[in-house]
Chain A
Amino acid sequence: MSIIVYTESENGKFKKAGLEVVSYAKAIADKMGTSVTAVTFNADNAESLGNYGAAKVLSIKNDALNKFNAKTYAAAIAEAAKQEDAKVVIVSASADSKYLAPILAVGLDAGYVSNVVEVPSSTSPFTVKRSVFTNKAFANTEINTDVKVVGLSNNSFGLIESGGSASVEEFSPSLPDSGVNVESVDKATDKVSIADAETVVSGGRGLKGPENWGMIEELAEVLGAATACSKPVSDLGWRPHSEHVGQTGKPVASNLYIAIGISGAIQHLAGINSSKVKVVINTDAEAPFFKAADYGIVGDAFEVVPKLIEKLKAFKVANA
């Protein structure tokens, strides 16, 4: 009755959120006196998941699964969970995980709780803490079904490396008709996505125009960060909608969030609140973001950001 984890990969390589759920599952498995079995789709080096806490990997290699499909992936994970008699199934908060989790939960007659931020406080009754009201509160939530599906909020647990190695078994689940077929994918492959990023650098209307995003991208590059923007910036078409973070945009749960020229409207703050450390750079000392931030600089972004880039480059050299 191991714990099943859906470990996401892209082009064969595991994503950070996929590794994080393995470490998280290991912490729950220790509490319940069981072990972790990861399910992977066309991933390389499956045995390396042992380093993050998996005892076993059910490795699926099937060209029909090269493109993510919520229904077929959910069916495969459900079959793995039944085979292993799993009582707990863990997924991340990536767009794909959130897509398949409800389908998976129905397939397993399992209760599903998303946006979980901690290891369960109790495993009987199974009680998890999840963020609600767009990060303005938490709800301690019981799952009362025999099988439980838990969606972990990204970056809320972290990676724990133990140096172990996992046994790998080939797994060939039967797959239903997909129903939804991918025609094309439009994605910047050379950039860190907001969901995967540990650091996010975000620009607002204070930057005055899309031509000034060079320094945002440079700062992001120095920090290995994803770039994001406020809603007005995406509405004005300065940046693509996929960069819009906030209540109606993407949620951010990074370790470090740097807001440049963003005043901090309540809808924006709602979306970025679960980031751990927030830095704001704004000319207006009265901007509401200063109340939500951990560190702030009252100053002109066009002067502060280039200096920050220079200092961070020097810092990287000194700490390399």
Chain B
Amino acid sequence: MKILVCISHVPDTTSKINFTDGDTKFDTNGVQFVINPNDEFGLTRAMWFKEKQAASVDVVNVGGAETEPTLRKALAIGADAAIRVNTEATDGYAVAKQLAKVVNDGGYDLVIAGRESIDYNGGMVPGMLAAMIDANFVANCISLEIDGTNAKAVREIDGGKETVSTSLPLVIGGQKGLVEESDLRIPNMRGIMMARKKPLNVVEPTDVSAETKAVSFEKPAPKGAVKLVDADNIDELVNLLHNEAKVI
């Protein structure tokens, strides 16, 4: 089984979110980048398939050279090879198009992506990719088992979960639950040393233009200070929620 894990290169959760160039660009100054958390759960699940079912695992990112440390980290965790599509990730559609070419060229059976990236939160790349390559697709995937070409997956739905059966080729939008947080792997020294010798292939992009464009960014208006209510005066809270906030 050939697995491709899509790795998004995203600002660490604790990053300060600021914009530059007249609020048209994300300010990367002082920002630390990490593997997108949703992708990290998928990568760890892929390692399980590698170890238990002899799968090969490649990782891919669509982005500039600045994303290579993130791909090297994925190699240090255990992926066999990395691919970087050398172009700026403009929108979800354009990224999905680039990934579709990588999947078709590489003949992958299973593509594991995260349900969304924690920066732009589009949540569209896995589904678009599946539609473009005519593969089956499971969103919000919290469990995945593969037996031959058959797959059994669990999808988180509003208020519960759903167990589905499907088959390869398959794309999933994965998240926490694929593995638990305690199962995530931190690269060890041996992994980091080995990652330096693993292939990181830079491929040139296919010609595609974005369908959407973020023309400007803004931050929410600063929030007023919290109104504290005395623990002995719950009536006041009920009154505020009813008359001021108008939510009850």
Contact = CB atoms under 8 A, between A and B. Distances in A.
Contacts of A280: 226
A182 B131 contact: no
Nearest to A234: B176
A186 B177 CA distance: 15
A144 B210 CA distance: 8
Given A247-B13, A279-B237, A279-B241, A141 B215 contact: yes
Nearest to A267: B13
A180 B218 contact: no
A173 interface: no
A307 B234 contact: yes
Interface in B1-23: 11, 13-14, 17, 19
A111 interface: yes
Contacts, number: 261
A134 B121 contact: yes
Nearest to B218: A138
B104 interface: no
A136 B219 contact: yes
A105 B140 CA distance: 18
A291 B217 CA distance: 23
A198 B38 CA distance: 27
Contacts of B210: 144
Contacts of A107: 131
A311 B234 contact: yes
B237 A195 contact: no
A253 B165 CA distance: 31
Interface in A108-139: 110-115, 127, 131-139
Interface stretch (A25-33, A52-60, A164-172, A298-306): A298-306
Interface residues of A, number: 92
A243 B73 CA distance: 31
B214 A95 contact: no
Contacts of A312: 238, 248
A185 B159 CA distance: 10
Query: Chain A CB within 10 Å — which of B159, B164, B182, B231 has the most?
Result: B159
B173 to A, nearest CB: 8
A134 B118 contact: yes
A63 interface: no
Contact of A223 (B161, B215, B248): B248
Chain A facing B: main interface SS: mixed
Contacts of A186: 160-163
A244 B156 CA distance: 12
Given A95-B140, A196-B158, A247-B118, A181 B242 contact: no
B124 A105 contact: yes
A13 interface: no
Contacts of A304: 231, 234
Interface string A267-301: 10010000011011000000000111111111110
A291 B167 CA distance: 48
A319 B93 CA distance: 50
Given A133-B17, A180-B164, A235 B237 contact: no
B120 A132 contact: yes
B245 interface: yes
Given A95-B158, A185-B162, A194-B159, A114 B234 contact: no
Interface stretch (A36-44, A96-104, A206-214): A96-104
B137 interface: yes
Contacts of B162: 182, 184-187
A181 B165 contact: yes
13 contacts: A105-B124, A110-B211, A135-B220, A138-B218, A138-B219, A140-B216, A185-B162, A187-B159, A235-B181, A241-B176, A242-B156, A295-B240, A297-B229
Interface of A: 70-71, 94-96, 98-103, 105-107, 110-115, 127, 131-145, 179-188, 191-196, 198-199, 223, 226, 235, 241-242, 244, 247-250, 255-256, 266-267, 270, 276-277, 279-280, 290-300, 303-304, 307-308, 311-312, 315, 319
- What 8 A-B pairs come out closest when comparing CB atoms? A102-B127, A187-B160, A193-B159, A299-B231, A111-B211, A106-B131, A195-B158, A139-B214
